[in-house]
Every structure is written in structure tokens, then in C-alpha cells.
Structure 1
Amino acid sequence: MVNRRFPVFVWVIVLLGLALRIASAQGGLWLDEAWSAELARQAHTPLGVFLNINHDNNHHLNSLWLQCVGFGAAPVLQRALSIAAGTITIAVAAEIFRTRSKGTALIAALLFAISPMVVTMGSEARGYACMTLALLVAILLIDRWLLDQRGERTRSRLALCFGLGVLSQLTMLFGCVALLGWVFFALWKRTGLVPAVRGTLTLFTPALVALAAVLGLVAGAAWASPTGFQFGDYKPFEILLFLHAIVEMLGYTIGWPVVSLWLIPAALILVVLARRAGARHLAFYRLAIVAFPVMLAVLHAGNPGHPRYYLLTAVALLLLIAETTGTMIARGGWQRVGARAALAAMLAGGLWQDVDLIRNQRGDPTPAITAMKARAPGGAVVVLDRPTGLAMLKSAAAHLRYPVDIIATGCKPAQFLFVDRFKGEDLPLAPQRCGAPYRAIAAARARGLSGTHWTLYERQP
């Protein structure tokens, strides 16, 4: 049932967010999504999702959904779970601030509806949208609990958030740590050290049990597997990769399309000034926006170059921006003018990036199958430049019901050659395979947070 406590504008914003996510979900599955679908298909059963896919590309709830709709389903249907979760997230973000200020609730809804970071994660077949929803619901529950520290149901609901959040995406673990720290520091300030420890453990004991159960299931399945836990791609920590990912995450969170290192000190200054700007949840903002990425840098965590790994920071930053701009607008004067100008700039930049995502569709691989179908209506043989593109082609071909024989390795005569590349890698202009020259006939270059560059070549006589 519609929550009539919200202004009608909030529901209009929710519908806008839904439209942006549906429009962004039309293209074929890109590399990570396609491999998620392929791994879910290979698992065969829901139990296999938990026991047989010991891979970082297995976001359990998303894999279950991909199994449910089928490998050859329309891409928008394969992404429907994320679309639904991402849309609900908009309403939950508004609900966090509803009792304090309807204006702030409206701003939060706008930011979560339009932020390119959240739109991207909410329109692809991965687990990040469901994880974000679980995180925001937990924030809402804790925000209400800190007012009076009552509610037995809060403990069980937090356990559900922790369990489902980690089953959605393992990086929810970072969010769990930030939530624990938030409650601890808030209680310590009120009651002292020992009561704060006791109160935090009392609130989170069921949640920690649920978290341990899920992590134990994942670890146990990996331990029992002959291959152990696998990573699709693993790169050691590099400071330049880390900084670039942080900057890219910040830019796509606030709708700033220009990559600039100045975004990092700007975010830090906002956190420092958060108290003066009227923010309440200071401990959470400091832990999620500052301590979390600093901890990863200190620990030299692997794979530092993926902006989506810092989604916790993006969520906290959006909440902080909503809270500070809402407060400044309410104060009036020059603060109102400045806050409105900053908010308008963020929303305009975010919409610009969203439109670019809708146009680009993460380097949609579907045209590769369309090009093969036009030249070989009865089916095609295509050789891969490297195995990474296998799942993308299989997924797109299954969706279009086109028979294609994909050669991942070896040297077999093939009419077509498919070459995929990541950002920063070049595509060959006139490649040769098995002694035969090939000419490009279709291509796409991905823009934004997700996607893969690719080119399809046809063998020349």
C-alpha cells in the first residue's frame, strides 16, 4: 500500500527513478553480468548456487533470480530484481529523513533516483542494488532505534538486513562494520564505554549470528570445493588504481562527469563541516566516507580499481549531501541559495550521465549477434580473441535465439572473430587469425561505470 505520509512529489520521483533504471537496462548483458548468468546456468539448481559457484561473481540472490527467469530471458527481465530493489531504495532513502524534514526527504529521493552510481547499480543483473537496499533499511532501523533504544523487532530485522545484504553482495560486510561502529560511538557519547559496548552487542547479536552463518556457508562451500574460492580477476593494490576508483566513484555519485582528484578533498571537507551543516549521523558518515577507504588503502586490499567496491561510501555521501543541503535550504539566506545551486548542478550532471548510460547501454553486445545474423541467417561460427567474451556472446545469442558455435581456444576456420577489451586496452584494426585476415563489421565502446569494449570482425577471402 502507498505510504500516504509522503508528499506526492516523492512518488513522482520514485517513478522517475524507475523509468531511468528500466531505460538503462535494455542492452545485452555486459561481461560481469553475463558471467553471473552463465555461472547460475551451470549451477542448475538453487542449492547449486550456494554450494557449487565458489566465485566472486556469484551474488547469491541475483544468481537465484537469474536461474528463475532463465539464461535466454530478455535482459530487462534478468535485471528486474535490481530494478525493483533500486526503485524501493529511493523511497527508503526518503523515509530516513521524513520525520525530520519533508524537504530533506524529497532531496534524498531525488539524489537516489538520479545519482548515476545508484542508477547504474540498480539497472544491471548484479547484487549491488539489493545490497544497497539492505544497507539503507538497516540505516533506517538504527536511526529510529537510536531515538529511544526500544523495539525487539529491530534486532530481528537487522539480522535480516545483514543476512540478505551479504547474500546480495559480500561487500555488505563493510557496511555492517560501519553500522556497528555508528551505534557504538553514538551510545558511547551518551552513556560511556561499557554501556555502549553492552548496548551495541545487545542490538546486533542476532545480526552478527546471521552474518556469521552466511559467511560460514560461503567459506564452507569454498573449502569443500576442489578449486576453492575463485576470482574472475584479481589485481594487487596499487595507489593509482585506488585513487582513480575513488575519484570515479565520487564523480558518478554526485553527477560530476570530469575526473578530478579535487573530488577527494571536497568530500573530506564536507565530512569535516557536516556538524555545522546540521548532519546527525556523524559517526556513520565518518566511518563510511573516510575510515572505510582509508582502511582498504592501509590494508592494501586487492582489486582496488573498481568504483563499485566503494558503494558504501557513495550511499553515505548521498545521505550526507541530502541532510546538509536540506538543512541549509531551511536556514534561508545565502545558505539556501548555495545549497540550491549545488543541488541543481548535481541533479543536472547526474541526468546527463544517466542519459549517456541509456544511449550507450554499457557497450551493448547485442549488435554483434545482429551483424552475424544478417550475414549468416542460419547460424555462425565465431572464434574468440580471448575467453573473457564467451559469456557475453552466449547470453546475447540465447536472448535472440540465434545458433552460434563459439570457439574459445584453438585454430578452427571461422567466419567471425570477436575481440573484447577492458578500459585502457586497444582493439586491433586488422587482426589475423589462423592465417586469415579479418575486417571489422560491428563495434561498441562502453562508457560509464560498467561495460566492455568489443569489435566483431568478418574473415576476408
Structure 2
Amino acid sequence: MQAGTSDRRWPWLLAAIMVLGLALRIAGAQGGLSLDEAWSSVQARDAGTPLGIFLNINHDNNHHLNSLWLLLVGFDAPPLLQRALSIASSTLAILVVACLGRRRGAALGLLTALLFAVSPVLVTLGSEARGYAPMSLALLTALLLIDRWLAGESRDSPALSLALCFFIGALFQLTILFGLCAVAGWVFFTLRRRDGFGRAARATLRLFLPTAIGVGLVFAIIAYGALTHQGFHFGSYDRFEFMWFLRGLTEMYGYTLGLPGMPLPLLALVPALLVLLPGTGVSRLPLHRLAILGFPIALAVLQAGNVGHPRYYLLCGLSLLILLAEMLWLEIRGGGWRRWVAAAAGIVILAGSIGCDIDLAINRRGDSLATISALKARAPQGARILLDGTIGRAVLESAAASAHYPIAIVQAECPPPRFLYFFRFRGEARTPRLVHCGRRYAEIAGMQARGFSGTPWTLYELQP
């Protein structure tokens, strides 16, 4: 009787969690586009056609299917509409992980869904006009398909379904390739324990051969565009530095768990937990070890670039949330003092996560639309703006287009225009040149960006 009651309540509880996740993402999606979102929108506008999205941008900031969405809704669309694809994808991902967790227990499904609903990383990326949230949905769907297949619940091979997941995911964000490596390794190591090396290798190759073809097609599209349009370009490329590597990982884990500012030494707890796990009954250990340990170690060994960007480690965050939910569920079921420790840890994570989500909704990534509001208050008919540097141009253009406010951006002009805009990339400490053509500017507005995403800016006005 109790089991039947629980089964009837489960869909309603899951629906409530999904509504919570949706509400947090809609709240986080307020305000103007941030830097990478704005450049994606500008690139989609300049591409002009769907074919141009695939062949003419040739930039790492182009997440193809997301750019296609931005082209569809229009450059001057409200930011909430530009972010709607990510909001929907991230909310659906909550359903997918609930189904994944429910395979071991109804309560585990709900706990996994709750962690995914409130995790600041997923709320932030799930409310941005970028390809990370749809890519995560594709990867998590692949995990669910493989988990069922490995358990023998699917007679038919999921090879074609997996190929579709990874093909679509790669067209949203190429970092799904990190997930593909972890997933393929998970399948191989699970089958090897069961069937031996040879049979496991053959079965893994058969399963992922269509995926390899699909991902190869994505690379062929990118390569064709690069060869016919003067190469492939990167917005920025930083060489490997160990401290940046640690900082990127720490920030990802901090915002995954709602504990930003986590000291570097605490980072060692993650691999330590994995070493101690075999006796705890946690499932999918090969996947978690490859995603949380193997992937970062591979980056360090290969001396990969751009390792300071926390988004690089999204695979680690997704795997950690699935792992953490199962660990908390097992300890709470086990009873005794561990139940109370696990419950307390879960409450801390949930409270910290919701606190970060509220801060995102308040701060709005530094809200580029606030720049336009400040300009409108002083120049209702439009404004000419001197831009200090070039990187903030897309932010200004997208915010002005969404607000339907006419602006003209200049780099150098005498007499100087009335306003000067300074966009501090990565919070850089340098100050703008506030004297132009013998005239001085003074600050009139600005915002500091907090959280996992966004960049601070300052607006200046010419003084008499």
C-alpha cells in the first residue's frame, strides 16, 4: 500500500521539482545578454542564413544549433526568448536525471532531480543563450540509454539513438566529446568485467560506431567552413598553467555544490571520495572515475589550453551531482549517525545552491540592459558612445537591439561623444582612459557581476 501511494505521488513531486527548476532558470534569465551570449547573437545575425551558421562563422563561440535558434528568434528579440531553448533543455534534463536515479529507487530519483534543479552551475548555464544546456540534455539522455542497456533492459542496441544524442549534442557544444570518452570507457570497463577484454572491446566498438560517424560529420562541417573561410578562430586561447587548471576545477565544483569560494585544498576531497567508494554500494563507478578523475588528469597530462575556464569541466559537475545524490541516498537509508550527517550535508548544499541562484536573479550577470536604462535616462532619443576596447561591442549592440534603443558606437572621435563605455573583461583591474580630446569623463553608472557568469561594466559621461 505504501509503495503504491509512493508511486502515485512520485510524478507530482517530480513535477514540483521541475517547476522549481524552471522558476529558478526563468529568474536567472532576466537582464541583458552577457559577453559570450552577445557575441553568439551578433555572429548569428551576421551569418544571415541557416547555411551561414554552419559554414561562415568558423569560431569557437559558435554553438551551431544554438546560433540557429538565435537567428530564428532575431537579434532584437527579448533576452528571455533568446534564452528559452536553454531554459527548456535544462528543465527537461531534470526529468532525465530523475528517471536515471529512479532506476535504483524513487527517492533517489527525486533527490537527483532536486540537486539538478537548484545547482547554480546548471541554473546559470540553463538560463544562458548558449549551447551548454542542450548539450547536457543530450549527454544525460545518452547516459540513461546506456544505463538501461547495460542492465539488460533493452533488447535492441541503442547505437543509433546514442549517435543521434551525440550528433545533436556536438552541434550544440563540442565539449560533449569529453562526455563521449567517459561514456565509452564506462561501457568498456563494465563489459570487460562481465565478458572479458576481447568481447568488451568488440561490443563497445559496435555500439559507438554510428556515434563516431555522426561526430565525424560534425567535424567535417567545421573543417569545410574553416578551409573555405580562412581557418578556424578562437575568442581567446590561454596556454596551460597549473594554477589556472586548479582554479577552473575549483570554481566548477564550488558552483556545482552551491559552495563558491571553496579553497583549493578541499578539491582533493573529490578524488579521495572516489578512492573510498567501492565499499559504499555506489553504481556507475567507472563513469564517475573517468569523468571526475580521468578527464582532468588527461587535460593536465596533455597540457591543454584554456583550462582556467570552469565551463570546460561541466562533465565533472554533471557526474559529481549524480554521484553525490546516490551517496546521500545510501547514507540516509543506512540509518545511524551517518543518516544525520548526510541529511545535514544535503541541506547545506541545497541552501547554498538556492542562495547562489537568488544572487544570480538579483545581479543578472551584471545586466547589460541597465546600461541602456542609464543612457535612456540622459539621452531618450539615442546616444553616441565611445568604446574603450573592442570586446564589449557585442554586449552594447545586443542590449540596445533588445531595448530598441538607437546607438552609434565609435572607437576614436573628436570632439568626443557624450558617453564612454568600459567593459572589464574577466574583471580586469585596468582603468579606461578618461580624457579624450582634452575633455574628461566621469562615472555615471556601473555594475559588478557576481556568480558563475557575467562581466562588470562602467558607463561614463562627458563633463562640462
Gaps of 5+ in 1: none
Deviations 1:392-444 (A, max 9, x none): 00011011111100114565621100001123412538822233210111101
Equivalent residue of 2:113, what SS? helix
Equivalent residue of 1:384, what SS? strand
Q: Say whether 1:447 aligns with 2:457.
A: no
2:428 partner amino acid: E
Deviation at 1:194, TM superposition (A): 0.4
1:314 to 314, 317, 321: 317
Equivalent residue of 2:366, what SS? coil
**8 Å Cα contact 1:250-1:263 kept in structure 2:** no
Number of the residue aligned with 1:182: 186
When normalised by structure 2's length, the TM-score is 0.96
Number of the residue aligned with 2:25: 21
Number of the residue aligned with 1:158: 162
Deviations 1:341-367 (A, max 9, x none): 111110011011111111111001111
**8 Å Cα contact 1:360-1:447 kept in structure 2:** yes
Going from structure 1 to structure 2, the CA distance change for 1:409 and 1:173 (only over 3 Å counts) comes to farther
Higher mean alpha-carbon deviation, 104-113 vs 332-341, is at 332-341
1:35 to 39, 55, 72: 39
Q: Say whether 1:138 aligns with 2:137.
A: no
Deviation at 1:5, TM superposition (A): 8.5
Number of the residue aligned with 2:370: 367
Going from structure 1 to structure 2, the CA distance change for 1:389 and 1:412 (only over 3 Å counts) comes to farther
For residues 115 and 255 of structure 1, the distance between their equivalents in structure 2, rounded to whole angstroms, comes to 6
For residues 99 and 39 of structure 1, the distance between their equivalents in structure 2, rounded to whole angstroms, comes to 42
Q: Say whether 1:336 aligns with 2:310.
A: no
Number of the residue aligned with 1:68: 72
Number of the residue aligned with 2:293: 290
Going from structure 1 to structure 2, the CA distance change for 1:409 and 1:134 (only over 3 Å counts) comes to farther
Deviation at 1:162, TM superposition (A): 0.6
Alignment map for 1:395-406 (pairs within 5 Å)? 395-406=398-409
1:375 partner amino acid: R
For residues 322 and 265 of structure 2, the distance between their equivalents in structure 1, rounded to whole angstroms, comes to 20
For residues 150 and 211 of structure 2, the distance between their equivalents in structure 1, rounded to whole angstroms, comes to 17
For residues 372 and 215 of structure 2, the distance between their equivalents in structure 1, rounded to whole angstroms, comes to 42
For residues 141 and 366 of structure 2, the distance between their equivalents in structure 1, rounded to whole angstroms, comes to 33
**8 Å Cα contact 1:159-1:210 kept in structure 2:** yes
For residues 399 and 203 of structure 2, the distance between their equivalents in structure 1, rounded to whole angstroms, comes to 52
**8 Å Cα contact 2:427-2:456 kept in structure 1:** no
When normalised by structure 1's length, the TM-score is 0.97
Number of the residue aligned with 1:266: 269
Deviations 1:184-233 (A, max 9, x none): 0110111111000011011111111111111121122112212x110111
For residues 5 and 221 of structure 1, the distance between their equivalents in structure 2, rounded to whole angstroms, comes to 51
Q: Say whether 1:56 aligns with 2:47.
A: no
For residues 190 and 73 of structure 2, the distance between their equivalents in structure 1, rounded to whole angstroms, comes to 44
Q: Say whether 1:277 aligns with 2:280.
A: yes
2:240 to 225, 237, 241: 237
2:12 to 8, 14, 18: 8
Going from structure 1 to structure 2, the CA distance change for 1:160 and 1:350 (only over 3 Å counts) comes to same
Deviations 1:42-90 (A, max 9, x none): 0001111000010010001110110111001110100000000000011
Deviations 1:121-145 (A, max 9, x none): 1000000001110110000000000
Deviation at 1:265, TM superposition (A): 1.1
Number of the residue aligned with 1:147: 151
For residues 8 and 406 of structure 2, the distance between their equivalents in structure 1, rounded to whole angstroms, comes to 51
Number of the residue aligned with 2:393: 390
For residues 295 and 175 of structure 2, the distance between their equivalents in structure 1, rounded to whole angstroms, comes to 11
Gaps of 5+ in 2: 1-6
1:205 to 202, 205, 209: 209
Number of the residue aligned with 2:425: 422
Going from structure 1 to structure 2, the CA distance change for 1:409 and 1:152 (only over 3 Å counts) comes to farther
For residues 5 and 138 of structure 1, the distance between their equivalents in structure 2, rounded to whole angstroms, comes to 27
2:124 to 101, 120, 126: 120
Equivalent residue of 1:9, what SS? helix
For residues 408 and 372 of structure 2, the distance between their equivalents in structure 1, rounded to whole angstroms, comes to 12
1:216 to 217, 220, 238: 220
> How big is the alpha-carbon RMSD for the aligned residues of Structure 1 and Structure 2?
1.5
Number of the residue aligned with 1:105: 109
Identity %: 53
Deviation at 1:295, TM superposition (A): 0.7
For residues 112 and 138 of structure 2, the distance between their equivalents in structure 1, rounded to whole angstroms, comes to 17
